[in-house]
Amino acid sequence: MKKNKRVTIYDLANELGISASYVSRALNNHPGISEKMKQMVQLKAQALNYRHNTNAANLRKGASSTIGVIVPKINENFFSNAIAGIEEACTEHQHHLIICQSDESYEKEVAAVQKLINLNVDCIIISVSAETSRFKHLEEIMHNNIQLVQFDRTAEVINSCKVENDTRDAARQAVLHLLAKGYKRIAYIGGPEQLPTFRDRKEGFLSAMEAADIVVPWNYIVGNVLTKEKGIAVAMDLLQLKNPPDAIVTVTDYVALGVLQAAGQLGITVPDQLGVFGFANEIFAELISPGLSSVEQHAKVMGRRAADCYFEGKEAGTEVIKCEVLVRRTTK
């Protein structure tokens, strides 16, 4: 009768002349409750507009049937697809998903971790920000008995489940393709090197060049560039060297976009005078002209596997998802 007062299992119990415990069990589908009673309780719950109180249940249970996911940007194709995979698994296993974005900020990432710990989530799936080079917050997750799963951008020192791409090989393949097409002076614009995935790509790049007996000038290697804007600036420098590169490998399609734009400004034609490789196969990669050669990371599969690590109770170990080099028109 009171306005704004939440209907509780006690209200249902009173109306039905049974105990609250019984109502709880009926609502939660416990064995040893007759179908008839379950239905009665359900009906009454609907009639009174009863709402299960998640906070109360989580408090009592000390768990929440919830996975928290933290990614740098929800609107990058790679991450939103990974989230789609995680969501799929959550739906199947009747878990909730809470999505956070760090916006590539270490500070925001730490705040998101704190929030999820406080919320008592059962598992945190994370792909770390570009800024993140200390990982105490990841340790704290585990100290609070929350399962940690890392994917794509992982912290090497943290011993959790990890789902990664074989990005080393992808970078190698990209270089091999460029070499086969006659490019020789290949530059590399990389990512933040505290993260293995970016270190691996660089290694893949360097090893392929070395295997081809090509000396890479020191200034052909640039690090920590993940945005289009930085990509433009770096490419402007590279392309105006005395001995400029004839191809550039990048670690995201956004940087590749910057390279293309810089080339355009300098009147350098792609792919004839310059080959360009992106990474992550963003939606626009196949739409722009010329189509951007890139790497498909199978993000949805990665997300799916990351969630499954939790649902399967896997505590540690690394899974590797193969990625695919997609040759389009920014390379001959």
Partner DNA sequence: CTGAAAGCGCTTACAG
Q: What residues make contact with a second copy under the rule CB under 8 A?
A: 4, 6, 49, 51-56, 58-59, 62, 64, 73-77, 80-81, 83, 87, 96, 98-101, 115, 117-120, 140, 143-145, 257, 282-284, 287-289
Collapsing DSSP to helix, strand or coil, 76 comes out as: coil
Residue 22 interacts with, from DNA, a second copy, none (CB under 5-8 Å by kind): DNA
CA distances from 50 to 63, 67, 106 (A): 22, 25, 41
Distance CA(299)–CA(115), nearest Å, equals 25
Q: Are strands 221-222 and 186-189 parallel, antiparallel or unpaired?
A: parallel
Residue 179 interacts with, from a second copy, DNA, none (CB under 5-8 Å by kind): none
CB of 261 to a second copy, least distance (A): 10
CB of 57 to a second copy, least distance (A): 8
What the block records as the tokens of 310 is 């939790």
CB of 258 to a second copy, least distance (A): 12
What the block records as the tokens of 236 is 């402007």
CB of 200 to a second copy, least distance (A): 26
Residue 4 interacts with, from DNA, a second copy, none (CB under 5-8 Å by kind): a second copy
Which residue number, 100 or 178, has a Cβ lying nearer to a second copy? 100
Which residue number, 101 or 127, has a Cβ lying nearer to a second copy? 101
Distance CA(35)–CA(70), nearest Å, equals 41
CA atoms within 13 A on the CB side of 73: 10
CA distances from 125 to 197, 252, 264, 307 (A): 17, 22, 40, 7
At position 195, the amino acid (one-letter code) is L
Residues that bind DNA in the complex, under the rule CB under 7 A:
5-6, 8-10, 17-22, 24-25, 27-28, 31-34, 37, 50-53, 56-57, 59-62
Residue 24 interacts with, from a second copy, DNA, none (CB under 5-8 Å by kind): DNA
Residue 287 interacts with, from DNA, a second copy, none (CB under 5-8 Å by kind): a second copy
CA atoms within 13 A on the CB side of 227: 8
